[in-house]
Every structure is written in structure tokens, then in C-alpha cells.
Amino acid sequence: MRLRTQLTLALLGASLGTAGVLGANYLRLNRRALAEDQRRQVRRTLEEVRRVRDEAVFGQDPLMLVDALKSMLATHPEVQFFEVLHRGMTTRLTPLAPREGAAEPHAVEAGGGELGRIQVGFSTAFFEEQRREAAASAWANMRASALAVMPAGALLALLLGGWLSRRVQALSETVDRIGEGRLGAVAEIGGSDELARLAERINQMSRRLGELEAAKKLFVASVTHELRSPLAAIESCVRLLRSEPGPRAPVEADMLRRIEANAARLGHFVTNLLELAKIERGKLELHPRATDVRALFEDAVLFFEPRAREAGLELRLAREPGLPSARLDPDLLTQVLANLVSNAIKFTPKGGSISVEARAARLRGRDWLEGSVRDNGPGIAPEALSRLFAAFERAPDASRAEGTGLGLAISKAIVELHGGEIGAESAPGQGSRFWFRVPA
């Protein structure tokens, strides 16, 4: 579930919970107020009965009391009956239309003279009906308030949830960009709350990482450039020594061979570093021209066949018949193919096989040239695949093989410079397939 949805639901839930609590309190207070009103109504009626009784006692006129009580029955719907005790006899007065239901009696004590106690029966059905009507009215008011307030609350929750989620999304995207290597990326979210302070910390970290990355690139480029001259001198001296006539001790010849091989390895590493520095500065130049794709793949396979045989591997080329020529930079694309085949030879065990494939493809409405290198080596774990094309990254089990971890990064840059894409498919124990695709 998206963060925006979670925030919106949480805010709506909080609003509904608050509305529920307020509604319950409103109903409770409404019932309490109604009960107090009913008690006051009973007290007022009893006070009126006492006043009428006192007047009748003062005037010694029992009939006046009866008439007054009959009039009260017509104007007091809460009264179900009156009972008047006079000279030992009880007179019961009821409305013309009898009020059904139970009655709650209240006595008005004798006030002197011949008139005795007056019993007032209050209708419980009347008070219950009042409570029902009050409850219905309260619920209607609550529903009306909810219908008026809920849309506003929902809109506010959506707006607030969207605002918060957009800020969190901005932070997430910035962190993703930093993780992808775009150091120096910043998040612009504004405000002065915790998210804004977190964004400022992330921005500071990103800027600092960008500065460190720039310093590292400058250092690597400088050191690499300075290494070229002494390396060239070492290689020249070794070649000169090996070209001298005359016998040479086996140990001396072996040492010269080792020096030459390691100087060549270091020279290859320096060349890769310089090329990577070019790519990072955007200085790698593309020189596309019409290229015989069939010959390009054949030459690459022929170049690596001796090395594959030496490693005890079968290297074969599979290509579509009639593969058309394409407009690309053959030198750079040969470098991509060489990096992929070289890696396959490094990591495929003796007795294995490597297949280099070339085919034309039609994707997304345009023509592509697709090349791939498939091996039956140990394979690569899925979590390591996404990191293979970053500079200096290698497969977790690649420690036994020589390499710097630059070849795939350079290959990726070359393919993307052509407007293409590159990727890998693998699983542990099932070999690997590295592929690239460039516009034909």
C-alpha cells in the first residue's frame, strides 16, 4: 500500500474516531439534558397542583380543585391521572382520551382542611416518547453534521496525505539517485519540520559525497596519467633486454617474462582507468560508420579462440544468416564484445563452452543489433546482477579470477553512448548470458 494511501486512511480513521467520540459525548449530554428537563417538568406540574390545592383549601371549594385538575389534564400531556382524597373518598380524574401505558405516581401531601392527599400519575410512555424523539433528532443532527463535515475531512486528509507523501517521495527519489551514483543530487521539499531537516541532512551528505567523488576521480586520473610514462619505460627496457643476443639463464628469462606480463597487465589497467575517466567526463567520442557486423563478430571470436583452447573451453559463434550491416563505432563495439568474451573465459571452468550470438531484432518499432555471450559457468546470484555494471564491482565469487571490475562499466557506457542497452541473465549453477542491444 502506498504511503499516501496509508496517511489518508490514518487521517480518515483519526477523523472518524474523533467524530465517534464527539458524537457519543453529544448523545450522552443530550440524554442528560433531556432527563433534567423532564425532572423540571415534573416539579413544575407538582408545584402547579400544590398552588391549585392551596387555593381550593383557602376557598373551601373542593369543586374548584376538581375543575382545575381537569383543566390541567387537557394542558399537561405528561399527566395520566389525578387522584383526590376528600372526606375518606378517592376521586380519580383521567383525560377524555385515556393515555395508555404505565404511570409513575407522585404524591402531593394534604395541605389542611378537609382535602387530603392528591396523587399525580405521570405517564412513563409520554416521557419515553420524548426520549425517543430527542434521540432521533440527535441522530439526525449528527448525520447532517457528518454529511457536511466528512467530505471536508476526507478532502483535508487527501490533501495532507498527498502533501506529506510527495515530500517523502522526493526524499526517496533523491536517495535513489544518490544510490545510482548521481552524487550531488538534492531534495527540494521546503518547510521547517522534521522532514525538511532530514532532507537538509541528505542534501549535505549528497553534496559531500559529490565532492569526495570528484576528488577521487581527479586523483585517479592524475595518478593514472603519471603511471603511463614509467610503465612505458619498463616495457621498453624489458623488450630491449629480451632482444639482446646471447644465452640467458632460465631464471633470468623467466623473470623478464614475468616483468613483461605484469607490466602489460598494469598497462591494460591504466588504459581502462583513463578510458573510464574519459567516460565520466563525457569525453569518450563516438565515430559511427557502416560496419560489417558479421565480420566484427567473427574477428572477435577468432581473436579469443587460442585463449579459449588454452583454457580448455569450446568457443563458438552463432549468427543469423544474412545479418545486415549497421552504422556504429566498430572499435568501441569490438571492445564491448572483447570484454564480455574475456569475462566468460575467465569464469567458465575447464571443459565448458561459450557461445557468441549475433542477430537482428525488431523492438519498439525500430531495428536493433543484438549480441550476446552465453557460458555454462557457475552463474551469478540475482542480488549481485544489478551491481555488475558499476565501476570496480565484481561477482562475489570472482576473487579467483584476474580483473579490475572496469570492463563491464566501460561496456555499459559504450553501449549507452550508441543509444542502446546492456544487461545480464544468470542464476547460480546455470551459467550466465550477457547481452547488449544497439540501434542498427
The amino acid at residue 43 is R
At 52 the pLDDT is: 87
382 vs 425: CA distance, rounded Å: 8
Is pLDDT of 229 > 60?
A: yes
In Å, what is the CA distance from 227 to each residue of 270, 274, 329, 429? 7, 11, 28, 40
The alpha carbon dihedral of 266, 270, 271, 272 has a sign of positive
At 91 the pLDDT is: 84
Over pLDDT 70: what percentage of the chain?
92
Backbone φ/ψ region at 181: left (φ over 0), alpha (ψ -120 to 50), beta: left
pLDDT tens figures, 298-311: 999 999 999 999 99
pLDDT tens figures, 172-224: 888 888 877 777 788 877 777 788 888 888 888 888 888 887 777 777 777 76
- Identify whether the C-beta of residue 398 lies closer than 8 Å to the C-beta of residue 404: no
At 358 the pLDDT is: 92
The alpha carbon dihedral of 151, 153, 157, 159 has a sign of positive
Give the max Cα distance, the chain: 162
Strand partners, 432: 375, 426
Which segments of 244-384 are extended strands (E)?
A: 289-291, 314-319, 326-328, 353-363, 366-375
What torsion, rounded to 10 degrees, do the Cα atoms 58, 59, 65, 71 define? -110
- List the single range of 160-174, 265-279, 341-355 with lowest mean pLDDT: 265-279
For 92, the enclosing helix (H) or strand (E) is strand 89-93
In the chain the domains, ranked by start, together with CATH numbers, are: 3-129 (no CATH), 194-280 (1.10.287.130), 289-439 (3.30.565.10)
Tell me 355's DSSP state: E
At 399 the pLDDT is: 47
Average pLDDT over residues 20-35: 86
